[in-house]
Structures are given as structure tokens and as C-alpha cells.
């Protein structure tokens, strides 16, 4: 029996060592790094062999290797991820703006699944899910311990099938079930309208393959309706990001030609890039410039960019570029701080690796990572303030987050104090009878930040924030 186990262990060692040797050689070729140390390879192979031979029931070898890869990548940072066949397909669907599911952007918090924002018009949006809701169960499965990938798998499915989500809403201190019927999510990433004569509002909820074309179409429609726009609000609140080329294109629509939009820096030569406001940096296919039909007036129209804690990645690139070039006034709340670049590398026809390869820097050279964009003017969510803003998660709060690369991170005692005060307010709120606290829909006359943005464009007084505390911002100078 012992000899059998020994043989099994050596077979496993050979299999795993062979795989890792290939990976090591590829690593050497790609980044001129030293091969992985033999001792650690032997330990991994030994564990593989022991699990294969000693575990209480047979374990599939392919699953073991897949899980080992997933664990290795998950240990890097919150955004690197190994894609198996199904998750790779779902990822690719997400970038096109079409998939079957409930329609929410999610993250993890305290082992639970957190709603970053429901996609506008989706089944989750219609069911009343809100940002910061926590999903505790998906059907009969508790989500604690599930990875984001596993949670997404359980919420996706066939069209017209139902999924039961158990929701914990912290600001109301209650748990309740929501049954949602899955459907194909055709995310409309661009909305816009003339708010009043002379002033327009255009909202981007995500940066997808169709976003640039839809953005151009909507801007053209608005200028046809009102050719003499005196001001425009670009609304990036709760925009979780998406495709880099789409962010570069939207920035380029407002910026002078060939100025820097964003730079990236990482280990590989291909990760050291400068993206400029020129067609070659945002055209997805050969052909004409997708921005060619935009009115020339768009380059000079007074512009306000609205952001909040849910604005991340690509939306931070746009806000940072327009702010650094003094093309727009950025208003709202400090953004999420997701300033890292993920590159998707196929591992075969059906699997892939999403791995962090670089950091994003604004045109002035400031790292977005774990810092975010600090608005020129801080604005609350309502006239009463944003009493729970300090409790909202940012990149810097995520476990294993990548540092900014520009000096050590220091906990801001003012923010910690604000969080303590917010927690106390939340506890007091929890003692009250549960009441619906509906957030006004973006783009309406009750949208307080939008009203303040319009006031700014008109030169009227703006009600600046009463409650917000800046995270890690010792040097920035703010108008308010």
C-alpha cells in the first residue's frame, strides 16, 4: 500500500512539475525572470499527490489543477481571476453588453456579495435592489465562502428562469427575499437628454463595445435638439468601468487632439504605454474615426463631470483626464480608486487568465490606484448630506488590494473618525421602524448632485458637501 501511495505521489509530481515547468519557461521567455524554485514545485506536487491518494473520496485531477490555479491567482489582488470555460464565456458576453442574468454589478464584503449598482432597466433594478445591498443567499446556497466567480455563475442561467436572492439592507437593518426572473441583459450604457434649454445631461453607466457609438449618437441627437448648448453634464456616477479604448474615446471627444489621456506602467514593455486623444488609440477596427460626426462645439462647451464612490476604473480615467487638462470641473464624491490594468490572456480555446499587468496614471502622473479621483467640488447625495458615505467600500478597503506605487498608504484618522460616527448614526437608524428610502433617479429634477452641477454651469451658488472626508489626499487643493 505504501509503495502504491509513493508511486501515485511521484506520478502526480511528474504531472504537476511538467505543467509548472512549462509555465516557468514561458515566464522566463516573457519577463526574463528566474525559473520557479524547485523546492516549492516539489511541495506543490507532493500536496497534489496526497490529495489525490489520501482524500476521503476520489478527486478529479483536472479540477484539482484548476482550483490550484484559481487559488494562486486569487491571492494576487481582488481583480486578477482565472476563467474556466463557463466564466470565460460570461466575461466575454459582459464586454459586449449582452448576457443572461439579473443585471447587477457586484463585489465582495465580509464574505458576502455586495451590490455595487443594479444595471439600469435590468430585472434587479426593477426589483428594487440598491447599491450596498448585501446578498446573503442565492436560492438555497449561502454565499459566505463563495468566490465572486461562483456567485456570478449561480445568478446567471437560462432566460425566463427564476433565482431567489436573500438581501440584507444595512441602512434598514432588515433581511428580505427577492425573486428575480433572469433575462437577456442588453445594457444601455448611454442615456442623455436636454435638461432645460441650453443645458444637457449625458450618462454613461458602463464602458462597453457599443458605448462610443451610442455616445456619439446621443450627443448628435442633443445638438440637433439644441444647437446652442451652454453647458453639459457628463454623469459617471456608479459607472464601474469597462473597456479602456472606450474611455480614451470619450475623453478624446472633449480634449484637444493628441494630448495624453492616460498612461500605464508595469513590468512588461507592452504595459508601459501612453494613450492619447487620437483615433489610433481608440479605434477598435480599421475604418474611420468613430468621433468624426461630433459637433466641433463639443470641444469647448462648459463641462461638469459627476462622480461618486461607485465610479471606478475607466470612469476614473475619463474624470482624471478631463480634470488634469482643466477641461471640466469634477463634482461629487471621491471615486473608488480602481487604477489597475487587467489583461486577459487566453490559456486555450475556452479558458483564460485575467491578470493585473499595470497601474493607471492620470496625465499629471498621479496614480489612480487605491486613491481615486478627488473632485474639484465635493457634493453630497442630498440637501441633507451623505451621512453614510464614509462606510462605503473603496479599492483601498479591499483585501489584498494593490498599492498605489507612490509612497506608503497611511490610514487617515479623520476618515476613521468619520466611519465611527457613521456607524453610530446607522445604529440609531436601525432602531427606527423600517422605511423605504428611495434614492431619486439620476437625471430628474430631484437629483441633488445634478442640480448642483447645473448651478455650477450657470454660475449660481453650489451647496458643497457637509459630510464627506477625503481619503489619502494631503496635497490636493479643493475649491471648497
Question: Helices 2-31 and 38-54 sit at what angle, rounded to 10 degrees?
Answer: 140
Instruction: Give the gyration radius of the chain's Cα atoms.
Output: 24
- Residue 324 known to be catalytic: yes
DSSP one-letter code for 406: S
Do the bridges between strand 190-196 and strand 134-138 make them parallel or antiparallel, or are there none, so unpaired? Answer: unpaired
Q: How far apart are CA 425 and CA 252, in angstroms?
A: 43
- Residue 354 known to be catalytic: no
- Residue 313 known to be catalytic: yes
**The one catalytic residue among 114, 276, 338, 371:** 338
**The one catalytic residue among 70, 189, 252, 313:** 313
CA atoms within 13 A of residue 402's CA, in its CB half-sphere: 25
Q: Three-class SS of residue 71?
A: helix
Query: What are the cell numbers at 182?
Result: 433572469
Query: What are the cell numbers at 341?
Result: 490594468
Q: How far apart are CA 283 and CA 346, in angstroms?
A: 22
Q: For residue 115, what are the CA distances in angstroms to 72, 141, 187, 389, 393? A: 26, 17, 17, 15, 11
The maximal CA–CA distance of the chain, rounded, in angstroms, is: 86
Q: For residue 325, what are the CA distances in angstroms to 71, 251, 321, 333? A: 41, 11, 6, 20
- Residues with catalytic function: 313, 324, 338
Amino acid at each position: 500500500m505504501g509503495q502504491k501511495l509513493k508511486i501515485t505521489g511521484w506520478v502526480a509530481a511528474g504531472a504537476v512539475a511538467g505543467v509548472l515547468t512549462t509555465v516557468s519557461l514561458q515566464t522566463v521567455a516573457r519577463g526574463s525572470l528566474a525559473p520557479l524554485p524547485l523546492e516549492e514545485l516539489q511541495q506543490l506536487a507532493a500536496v497534489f499527490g496526497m490529495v489525490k491518494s489520501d482524500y476521503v473520496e476520489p478527486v478529479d485531477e483536472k479540477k484539482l489543477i484548476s482550483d490550484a490555479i484559481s487559488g494562486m491567482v486569487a491571492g494576487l489582488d481582488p481583480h486578477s481571476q482565472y476563467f474556466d470555460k463557463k466564466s470565460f464565456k460570461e466575461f466575454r458576453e459582459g464586454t459586449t453588453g449582452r448576457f443572461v442574468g439579473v443585471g447587477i454589478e457586484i463585489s465582495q464584503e465580509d464574505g458576502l456579495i455586495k451590490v455595487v449598482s443594479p444595471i439600469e432597466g435590468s430585472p434587479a433594478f426593477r426589483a428594487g435592489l440598491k447599491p450596498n445591498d448585501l446578498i446573503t443567499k442565492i436560492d438555497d446556497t449561502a454565499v459566505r465562502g463563495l468566490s465572486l466567480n461562483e456567485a456570478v455563475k449561480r445568478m446567471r442561467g437560462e432566460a425566463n428562469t427564476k433565482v431567489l436572492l436573500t438581501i440584507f439592507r444595512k441602512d434598514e437593518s432588515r433581511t428580505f427575499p427577492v425573486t428575480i426572473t433572469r433575462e437577456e441583459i442588453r445594457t444601455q450604457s448611454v442615456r442623455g437628454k436636454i435638461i432645460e434649454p441650453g443645458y444637457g445631461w449625458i450618462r454613461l453607466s458602463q464602458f462597453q463595445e457599443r458605448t462610443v457609438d451610442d455616445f456619439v449618437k446621443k450627443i448628435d441627437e442633443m445638438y440637433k435638439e439644441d444647437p446652442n448648448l451652454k453647458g453639459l453634464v457628463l454623469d459617471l456616477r456608479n459607472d464601474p468601468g469597462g473597456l479602456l479604448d472606450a474611455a480614451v474615446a470619450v475623453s478624446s471627444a472633449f480634449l484637444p487632439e493628441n494630448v495624453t489621456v492616460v498612461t500605464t506602467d508595469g513590468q512588461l514593455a507592452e504595459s508601459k504605454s501612453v494613450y492619447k486623444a487620437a483615433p489610433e488609440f481608440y479605434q477598435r477596427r480599421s475604418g474611420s474615426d468613430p468621433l468624426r460626426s461630433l459637433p466641433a462645439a463639443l470641444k469647448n462647451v462648459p463641462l461638469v463631470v459627476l462622480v461618486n464612490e461607485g465610479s471606478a476604473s475607466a470612469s476614473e480615467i475619463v474624470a482624471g483626464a478631463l480634470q488634469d487638462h482643466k477641461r471640466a470641473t469634477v463634482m461629487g464624491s471621491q471615486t473608488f480608486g480602481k487604477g489597475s490594468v487587467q489583461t486577459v490572456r487566453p490559456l486555450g480555446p475556452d479558458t483564460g487568465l485575467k491578470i493585473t499587468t499595470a497601474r493607471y496614471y492620470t496625465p499629471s502622473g498621479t496614480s489612480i490606484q487605491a486613491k481615486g479621483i478627488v473632485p474639484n467640488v465635493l457634493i453630497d447625495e442630498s440637501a441633507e448630506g451623505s451621512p453614510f458615505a464614509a462606510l462605503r467600500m473603496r479599492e483601498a478597503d479591499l483585501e489584498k488590494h494593490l498599492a498605489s506605487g507612490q509612497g506608503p498608504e497611511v490610514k487617515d484618522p479623520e476618515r476613521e473618525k468619520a466611519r465611527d460616527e457613521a456607524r453610530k448614526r446607522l445604529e440609531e437608524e436601525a432602531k427606527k421602524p423600517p422605511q423605504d428610502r428611495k434614492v431619486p433617479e439620476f437625471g430628474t429634477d430631484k437629483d441633488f448632485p445634478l442640480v448642483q452641477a447645473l448651478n455650477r454651469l450657470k454660475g449660481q451658488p453650489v451647496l458643497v458637501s457637509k459630510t464627506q472626508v477625503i481619503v489619502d489626499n494631503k496635497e490636493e487643493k479643493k475649491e471648497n
